[in-house]
Amino acid sequence: MIIDFHYHFPHKPMTEGDLAERARTMASNYGAGGRNGLPLTAQEIMERLRVLNAPDPDGSRLLSRMDEANIDITVVVAMDRWAEFPDEAAVLAANKTCADWVGQHPDRLIAFAGVDPRRKDAPGLLRRCIEEYGMRGLKWHPDHGFYPNSPEAYAMLSAAQELKIPLLTHTGPLPPPRQSKFVHPNLLDDVCLDFPELKVVAAHMGRNWWADWAGLAQFRHNLFGDLAMWQFFAARDYARFCILLREVIDWCGIEAVIFGSDAPEFEALVLNTTFIKAIQELPFAAPPGVKFSEWEIDAILSGNAKRVLGL
């Protein structure tokens, strides 16, 4: 079984202008125009984005891509676009749209709610998403301007722990205008200690702050991390990817590492089929002296996610 723990629901269709701008930004940050980027031009990225962002009213296009990559279950996350959503009604509408879309394929898709803790009665909004819409987790982007250990965040986390749902929250530096000071994994130390029954998944495992995340996860057994954005390493320098992932696991234990893609956007850079194959081949394709077991691969691709999701 394979579970993708990190897929973004497309809240609105992208125009050609939107696609072109996003492709330029991705090329600048992650492609041929970026530092240590993948050898992809803005035009190549745009062509891939156009396919990935084609209308998918019933989720069949996503399921087709899942089948191609042998993904059994995908966690689809809604986002509270703080700068774009004018009020709480818009937040609820966006979450319900995501929940209804996911609800067409309950055996393959799981919905996480997106609610910014700065919203008026944010805990109440979260409860509606879980209890009325059937969503099964919470997704945060603190880089929009809040600390995950702030008083308003704690009010929501208290509700999340009571509801027995996991939190998936971004960690790691981001390009402007996102603010990286809000997403260092060390900020999750208070969260894990003060909410011991809450399962916290650090998206991207802190990216280049992975050592801080892994050191913390070694002692916070309710802290996990997903591999989204690590596909860049796997595609660009497989040997380095193997070495870094082995270091991560040696520090925090295999139980903390979860597969996630951050699709559909990052599939424009590395296909899920490519990323999953890179993980599955670790036991026999890693460089000399770097060893992985089949049991570890199964834990990464599904076992750990099943425990977090209660499957």
Q: Which domain holds residue 296?
A: 3-309
What is the predicted pLDDT for the residue at 81? Answer: 86
Give the CA count within 13 Å in the CB-facing half-sphere of 147.
Answer: 10
Do 33 and 239 meet the contact criterion of CB atoms below 8 Å apart? no
Residue among 142, 113, 144 at smallest CA distance from 11: 113
Rounded distance between C-alpha atoms, residue 45 and residue 24, angstroms = 8
Q: For residue 230, give both structure tokens.
A: 């690590």
Residue pLDDT, tens place only, 184-233:
999 999 999 999 999 999 999 999 999 999 999 999 999 999 999 999 99
Confidence of residue 35 (pLDDT cuts 50, 70, 90): confident
Residue whose tokens read 């205008």: 177
Residue pLDDT, tens place only, 128-150:
999 999 999 999 999 999 999 99
Confidence of residue 177 (pLDDT cuts 50, 70, 90): confident
Residue whose tokens read 């690590």: 230
* 112 pLDDT more than 90: yes
Residue pLDDT, tens place only, 250-272:
999 999 999 999 999 999 999 99
Q: For residue 232, give both structure tokens.
A: 């860049």
What's the number of domains the chain is made of? Answer: 1
**Cβ neighbours of residue 17 under 8 Å, at least 6 residues apart?**
none
What is the predicted pLDDT for the residue at 178? Answer: 86
- For residue 56, count CB atoms less than 10 angstroms from its CB and return exposed for 0-12, middle for 13-18, buried for 19 or more: middle
Query: Domain containing 29 — which CATH number?
Result: 3.20.20.140
What is the predicted pLDDT for the residue at 250? Answer: 97
Which amino acid appears at position 133 of this protein? Y
Residue pLDDT, tens place only, 154-166:
999 999 999 999 9
* 175 pLDDT more than 90: no
Q: For residue 207, give both structure tokens.
A: 């990216």
Which amino acid appears at position 50 of this protein? R
What is the predicted pLDDT for the residue at 34? Answer: 82
DSSP string, 117-163: TTSTTHHHHHHHHHHTT----EEE-GGGT--TTSHHHHHHHHHHHHH
What is the predicted pLDDT for the residue at 216? Answer: 98
Q: Answer whether 0.85 is exceeded by the pTM.
A: yes
Do 168 and 205 meet the contact criterion of CB atoms below 8 Å apart? no
Confidence of residue 32 (pLDDT cuts 50, 70, 90): confident
Q: How far apart are the first and last CA of the chain?
A: 12
